[in-house]
Amino acid sequence: MQRLIWSVLLAFLLAIALGPIVIPWLRKMKYGQTIYELGPESHKVKQGTPTMGGVIFTLPMLIVPLMFFDSAHWRFMAIVLTATGGFGLVGFVDDRIKVGRQRSLGLTPKQKLLPHIILSLALATWAYFSPTIGSKLYLPFTQVEFDIGWFFIPVLAFVMVATVNSSNLLDGLDGLNAGCSMLDFATLSLLLLAFSTRMTGELAGEFMNMVIFCGCAAGALLGYLRYNSHPASVIMGDVGSFAIGGALAGVCLVTRMSLVLPIIALGMLVSSLSDLIQFAYFRKTGGKRIFRMAPLHHHFELSGMPETRIVSMYMIVTAVMCLVTLLWIAG
């Protein structure tokens, strides 16, 4: 437990320390956010806010776990760090194109989706053939594991791609994605800690390493919120939102907890569903909309709800869903 607490604190302090270094550098390099032309009018004041701030928490997420994990049990950590860094790198390229060309579009959807699919398939295949992971999934709120065989690879690859892009969609308001994801990682840390105490041997060590990683992620995001809460001094950009999605999906991939994601990351799920519903309805009706704007948090914003209240609402719902998930280990 001390190892977990120290890792959380160090990740938090490193993120706090990186802020005054990274943010002025981003301003100096003129890495300012270009606001989407059709976005809410209230977002126009955010034009020029330093972007790519996700490096403030992504670096602690990649570095601090290596200082505290048990190197004898490295398989889970290798996959999760690859997921976090790999998707974060795709986001970095996307952000770099945006700021270089001073537009809200970086890589095209197809250009982003291709590396997402390749990386997800590679990670799912790696997990499938790992002797400590295999092709089973936990059924939430039970002690049941069920084997889906080789379907594990395409299904978990889809989950990973969906989570990364859902994380990107949730990153629309100051502190929204960071705050909700901090709660998600904290919940996963507690959940996996409880599971690790029921295990022995190599698997217990692997799960404990994921406890450390999730704790570091929660601590790093807590530190980042110092600079990203409203009004934000920095925006995480795709480098941050992709890294968060990759980390969440990666942890659930190796621990067989992927069916937990729709519960604890409900905000991400709602963002994706509202976007898909809006697009499908728009196409079917020839231009009509269900929401004022998708994802759903922008609909609330255009309906007159203050940005801070929307973020609070999403975090409250996330906290409740996380508590519901922790009932799994409370019995």
> How many Cβ atoms sit within 10 Å of the Cβ of residue 5?
11
pLDDT of residue 143: 85
Residue 1 in this model has a pLDDT that exceeds 70? yes
pLDDT of residue 102: 67
Residue 264 in this model has a pLDDT that exceeds 60? yes
State percent of the chain over pLDDT 70: 94
Q: Which residues lie below 8 Å from residue 294, measured CB to CB, with a gap of 6+? A: 274, 275, 277, 278, 279
Give me the half-sphere count of Cα atoms (radius 13 Å) on the Cβ side of residue 164. 29
Give the pLDDT band of residue 198 (cuts 50, 70, 90): confident
Range 18-40 average pLDDT: 79
Which one-letter amino acid corresponds to residue 89? L
Angle (nearest 5°) at CA 45 between 40 and 48: 115
Query: Regarding predicted confidence, which is higher, 195 or 100?
Result: 195
- The pLDDT tens digits of the residues spanning 118-173 come to 999 999 999 999 999 999 999 999 889 999 999 999 999 999 999 999 999 999 89
Continuous segment of H or E residues that includes residue 147: strand 145-147
Q: Whole-angstrom Cα distance, residue 49 to residue 223?
A: 19
Mean pLDDT of the chain, nearest integer: 92
pLDDT of residue 44: 57
Q: Whole-angstrom Cα distance, residue 100 to residue 179?
A: 29
Which one-letter amino acid corresponds to residue 278? Q
pLDDT of residue 37: 55
